[in-house]
Structure 1
């Protein structure tokens, strides 16, 4: 609880409490600020106020909650829709079983959410550039622009992986209607745009921020995300270089216990490279948080009325773990069954399936501390979202090294992740990989990514970039999936109609 008290009381103008930031800045009498005298906390910049809205959008329902969970996790072989059979209706069921319709509300919400974030970043850059250079620190202006470009690069990386061809908006317009005349750019053009944004960010962002600015983009976040952009395109050398830059910084490591990473006490730890920040209090249970954990919380009664029960681990994921892997217990939260009481990581007896809850398994990584549930709310809106962890970067470095023929290095990197995972486990659990063959090692690295990052929104995109999506999804029972159509979401019909046909539909829809 002390972490949340610290955030709430002393974070000043950090991105965690945007509304409170406004109150903090508005404390002196109104109407007396100029562009040169607008106050900002020590260690911040006069441009902070322009990018807060963009950071705030990261917590948006349309950016990192409903559509995000559906498109990145429920579409994969690691998760099912969950809840009751009819909950969510055809719109959500189609995310699980395919095809997603062009009229999908979730697809349209994702389009609006990420393009809304793009608009916020472009607006922030317009505002940053509008301040007279006289008397201003030019390097701080460049740094603020780098933050905005990091967020724009992240937004477009999500958009191109979700939809493929999308319109490219490089500048802000005060008239949103003008954007309806912009046709789609090719996926290759969007990837180039993303690379340019992230390279600029990597060059100009700081290595770290003061603790009061927890959650702001860093050089490591830009390079780590850039590695993922490169690896998605099979640009192995560039991916290797970007990931190795993160590793060589010495700012991140695998010292955190795996079971702790996803708890409140594990937020923003040594493995954290980029997290979406949320917080809550008994007085403000949702305003400064994210509905992410609530969407996936156990769908029960009383103390177990934690959420919607969506995004449940699949039987295919359950079967993929090696014997004794401690990560399984931290990822899959088992309901109790007749004759057997299962418990959560907090030693709480679980409700009984199917009598008390509709699903046999839930996502354990989003289960919050019961003390906070009892003192704040059962919605758990304070839970952060881990967007990029160091283990992810290590495995990207291993994968790119292996593709470049550096099998010994790749194996050592892979084993470093397995060593952390088996700490405290019984002897013989998760032994080191000894393969020297490139193809065999490739399969081991892919398996490790699945297990290490389970339920963390990379699996579907990994399957697509590996070219194994149809095989894996059919094996998991999602036999409606077609490579020729379902690797991308449909362009929302609402957006095609708004542009009067300037936007065109993806193949197969």
Structure 2
């Protein structure tokens, strides 16, 4: 497969090595003229640093725009009129969409970078480096590869599994896709390796641990409806004590504090992308530029208000009176934030703020000016980590797995939305999240309760669309439950009155085909096999 020529630069400050990609898809290999894995990683510290690049630059194309376009616009959490991404909100994404290509390229770049480490480290690290250090780096690389594939298969369905690019490089125009079930098996194998080989209890370093692998494994098992293993892995993480909830296990911090740069790599963070604000384009978190209502917040000339919360998301928070997560996630006119625009005594969202017609703006991942963050933000770039998993996710996974075990619909079937449980352990996990949110505890929970709770907990964190996609079964060709939910969402805009008059002029009923996105046309042109029937993967 042919891709745009890519040069994947791992910052010297992070890794001390430069790796360049070649011209063929998936097969990024460092050239002989550059410092390579084999000649550089000669000490334990250098091997430990070998995985740093996997947490930032390769993810940039996904994180910056298309990641949230898929998760927030397709799910109905957000609204936009921006021509480059509006198609994700009205289910009109074509295979020629530029941002869709960015998703494919970015995620397969993560795979390529991980494969380079997996293929080169063991053979090139001297015996003086402890095996445990090498194994940990290998585990990190396999976790990140598994994570990239978790996104790829949920977005595109059948995708090529590339484990050893050297076996494919001579035949790059005839790479087949592999079935979703094989992709999930591959992901699970990677995560099991990471769980066994990664160092435990490394929270606050920014790197993943064996506990991180267990957490992601619990989520993957949940998606495949292997509820027994989902619960086993989730409770392993909960009981380990490696991670803690802000505002519950850790006093003095709140849910809102999770989204401040000063609290990067906190005890609740399980997997997070690591960004640097002042290291050049491609190495910082660029989402504040799109999310922030105006430059009055960022003080760097950006703040475009491209994404705004839909009325449907606003209604979801309003249905949960007193929910402390609302103000941390979305701004309503009159909301005051003391830690934004501190030089002027704080920031209040203006009464007429309505960049996308919904009279509300995004707050989550909006962190403010350089002065608000000790210099850790810049034009289209902040140092705010991107959460991939937090401990609250694991609690909700455990609660859902317990319910799933009792309902037992069977692997591959949809969620039984009529099922409920009053299991004490499930309620303890579920209500711990609601306790922090400041909302009423429940004495019985259904699947719908859990999905709604996940939406409120992880809105604007890239999760709700994938929850909707799995409601009818993780590999189902039909989506009646999700279609019913989406078709009732208010995705419209409103008048400029105060309070606004809603127009209810944008509701969408997706088809079953809309729950997977097309393989980019540029990739199909280079490799027509990508849209042919998948071929079973031969596991090594």
Q: TM-score range by the shorter chain?
A: 0.7 to 0.9
Which range moves more in the overlay, 170-179 or 64-73?
A: 170-179
Specify every segment of 5 or more residues in structure 2 that has no aligned partner in the other structure, as ranges. 1-9, 19-33, 340-345, 407-420, 473-480, 492-506, 535-540
Partner of 1:190: 183
Q: Which of 477, 485, 498 pairs up with 2:513?
A: 485
* Cα 1:480–1:342 shift into 2, 3 Å: closer
* Cα 1:47–1:361 shift into 2, 3 Å: same
The reply to whether residue 310 of structure 1 matches residue 303 of structure 2 is: no
Alpha-carbon distance, 1:480 to partner: 4.1
Partner of 1:12: none
Once residues 32 and 475 of structure 1 are traced to their aligned partners in structure 2, the CA distance between those partners, rounded to angstroms, is 55
Question: How big is the alpha-carbon RMSD for the aligned residues of Structure 1 and Structure 2?
Answer: 3.2
Alpha-carbon distance, 1:344 to partner: 3.2
Partner of 1:425: none
The count of aligned residue pairs is 457
Partner of 2:3: none
Partner of 2:442: 433
Partner of 1:388: 389
* Cα 1:176–1:104 shift into 2, 3 Å: farther
Check the 8 A contact 1:264/1:369 in 2, yes or no: no
Specify every segment of 5 or more residues in structure 1 that has no aligned partner in the other structure, as ranges. 1-16, 26-30, 423-429
Correspondence 1:6-405 to 2 at 5 A: 18-21=11-14, 40=43, 44-48=44-48, 50-60=50-60, 62-81=61-80, 85=81, 87=82, 89=83, 91-131=84-124, 134-173=127-166, 176=169, 178-209=171-202, 214-254=205-245, 255=250, 256-281=253-278, 284=279, 286=281, 288-299=283-294, 305-321=301-317, 322-334=320-332, 336=333, 341-344=334-337, 346=339, 347-353=346-352, 360-370=359-369, 371-372=371-372, 375=375, 376-377=377-378, 379-405=380-406
* Cα 1:345–1:498 shift into 2, 3 Å: farther
Query: TM-score when scaled to structure 1?
Result: 0.81
* Cα 1:351–1:506 shift into 2, 3 Å: farther
Partner of 1:474: 487
Check the 8 A contact 1:221/1:274 in 2, yes or no: yes
**Greater fraction helix:** 1
Check the 8 A contact 2:261/2:373 in 1, yes or no: no
Alpha-carbon distance, 1:393 to partner: 0.6
User: SS where residue 285 of structure 2 aligns?
Assistant: coil
Once residues 207 and 172 of structure 1 are traced to their aligned partners in structure 2, the CA distance between those partners, rounded to angstroms, is 30
Once residues 448 and 32 of structure 1 are traced to their aligned partners in structure 2, the CA distance between those partners, rounded to angstroms, is 48
Once residues 175 and 189 of structure 1 are traced to their aligned partners in structure 2, the CA distance between those partners, rounded to angstroms, is 18
